[in-house]
Amino acid sequence: MPAFKVAVLEGDGIGPEVVSSALKVLEEMGKLSGVDFVFEKALIGGSAIDQKGTPLPQETVELCLNSDAVLLGAVGGPKWDNLPTEQRPEKGLLGIRKALDLYANLRPAKVYEPLIASSPLKEEVARGTDFVVVRELTGDVYYGEPRGVFFQDGKRVGVNTMKYTEDEIRRVVRKAFEIARQRKRKLTSVDKSNVLEVSGLWKTVVEEEAKSYPDVELEHLYVDNCAMQIVRRPSSFDVIVTGNIFGDILSDEAAVITGSLGMLPSASLGDKYALYEPVHGSAPDIAGKGVANPIATILSVGMMLRYSFGLKKEADFLDKAVELTLQQGYRTPDIYSEGCIKVGTEGMTEAIIQAVRKLWQE
């Protein structure tokens, strides 16, 4: 029986609740498929500050480095908003990403047919949308030097540097091609090579890497055109790969199409390690009330099955179980509409587990 070790970082707010749900689903999947999952918890974010005085204790880093994958709930909340920037919960998330050398952020955007009315797009436009934005995480204007605010001729000048090395581009592009190869075999590379030299290098490296993936269709779009096409023809995309700042913006645009942040999972991948987390925040206003939507975290576990453990069949079953649960009418308050079955966190979790069992038996 194969065994995988998962580092569990519950975090703050609704983090412990939605993570608990995802682990229950993962355990059920393990029982059905004969895979053993071992969970070990550690602190991160505000809870780590309260107990250890730091948002990222060293023992948390060590656990993650010695695990097959990391599952994170959420970090942050108003309780810690007045702390200095370097001591706030969010620094724990940035710190663990750096410690694990995670350079590719995956943000799926899928419109589920039972929730299609929640999309701000017309139904005929939104229908069939199912793509992934692969965003480079370690370079671009967020990290390039020089940076800062300087005085020049007695006036203030703000500077940030958009910078990419060939190797930084190549590794995330390869990751995107591999993901496209597992999906519908289409990759859209997004840049601004008509204006920016760094984007010219990006496009050149993408073309070089494409020679190793002749089975994947490649298209290039300028970022402004891509932003427009995501709204006009979202169902035409499969995998989008782009730099840090473009990916930051486009993945948020894509998230709106789905109609609910509570439905969106994510993964941050490196060559050796990977971290999975829901896109939504810690939602402290509903923490402990048992009404949080666990689907984003459950779908994040599905990504873990697919990308860290190579369990594609199990990942597909989990995705189908979520869709079946929605078709059956189960809704947490954030996605509830008249005529549906309103459930809390535990009710939605149990409904998905029952759907997993049903599909597996069939």
Contact assessment for residue 43 and residue 52, using Cβ atoms and an 8 Å cutoff: yes
Query: Residue 6: phi, psi to the nearest 5?
Result: -115, 120
Which pLDDT value is given to residue 325? 97
Residue 336 pLDDT level (bands cut at 50, 70, 90): confident
DSSP 309: S
DSSP 341: E
The token duo for 117 is 């009315």
What is the model's pTM? 0.93
Residue 259 pLDDT greater than 90, yes or no = no
Q: DSSP states of 183-228 as a string?
A: TTSEEEEEE-TTT-HHHHHHHHHHHHHHTT-TTSEEEEEEHHHHHH
Fold of the domain built from segment(s) 1-103+264-362: Isopropylmalate Dehydrogenase (3.40.718)
Average pLDDT, the chain: 95
The fraction of the chain above a pLDDT of 90, given in percent, is 91
Residue 1 pLDDT greater than 70, yes or no = no
Which pLDDT value is given to residue 137? 95
Residue 260 pLDDT level (bands cut at 50, 70, 90): confident
Residue spans of the domains in the chain: they are 1-103+264-362, 120-258
Contact assessment for residue 305 and residue 315, using Cβ atoms and an 8 Å cutoff: yes
Contact assessment for residue 146 and residue 179, using Cβ atoms and an 8 Å cutoff: no
Residue 61 pLDDT level (bands cut at 50, 70, 90): very high
Q: What is the pLDDT of residues 3-12, one digit of tens each?
A: 899 999 999 9
Q: What is the pLDDT of residues 96-115, one digit of tens each?
A: 999 999 999 999 999 999 99
Residue 2 pLDDT greater than 80, yes or no = no
CATH for 120-258, options being 3.40.718.10, 3.30.1330.200, 3.90.960.10, 3.30.70.20: 3.40.718.10
Residue 170 pLDDT greater than 80, yes or no = yes
Contact assessment for residue 29 and residue 318, using Cβ atoms and an 8 Å cutoff: yes
Torsion 189-192-197-200 (CA) sign = positive
The fraction of the chain above a pLDDT of 70, given in percent, is 100
| Residues marked as catalytic | 142, 192, 224, 248, 252
Buried b vs exposed e over 220-241: b needs ≥16 C-beta within 10 Å? bbbbeebbebbeeebeebbbbb
Which pLDDT value is given to residue 262? 74
